[in-house]
Amino acid sequence: MAPRILVAGIGNIFLGDDGFGPEVLRHVVERLAGHADGVRATDYGIAGMHLAYDLLEDWDALVLVDAVPNQGAPGTVHVFEADHRWPDCPASLDAHGMDPATVFGSLRALGGTPPRTIVVGCEVADVSDGIGLSAAVQAAVGDAVSAVESAVALLREGASLKEV
């Protein structure tokens, strides 16, 4: 049986490059449609508690697509496995809180355990008020979509990131 994989795009489309996750998910949904048994791709936007509740289901893995700040040049795509051993982050009562650590803290408070998680993140240029991605981040969307597809394939095979 194919592993159950949740692909989750997160971010606020009203804050420029923070809308990277939802934009990538728009393309991922089109590419995976009908081709990936056991895979669900969802744009969570800013609905952090919704993601935490969905993670209570029996998922084998999570691919989290998000904007990541201050790790390199804008438009740089990073793919890494999340380390869930960090100190517990408190749960949030804000239904629209979207910090991944807070989502995982809420999941733990609900009695769940985060699944194996691969993050596909992109360096941001501008997260000020406004709709639309900067040119550098928009140019990275295609690479991120390919990275999501590769991550899903890797998870289906049970391989580690180091093996790819």
Domains, in order of start, for the chain: 5-163 (3.40.50.1450)
Q: Would you say the pTM of this structure is higher than 0.85?
A: yes
CA distance 143 to 44: 21
CA distance 157 to 4: 12
Going along 11-138, which residue ranges are E strands? 39-45, 61-68, 77-81, 116-123
Q: What are the mean pLDDT values of the chain's consecutive 10-residue runs (164 residues total)?
A: 93 96 95 82 92 95 92 93 68 58 88 95 96 98 97 88 57
Burial group, residue 162, by CB count within 10 angstroms (0-12, 13-18, 19+): exposed
Compute the Cα dihedral for 11, 6, 78, 149 and give only its sign: negative
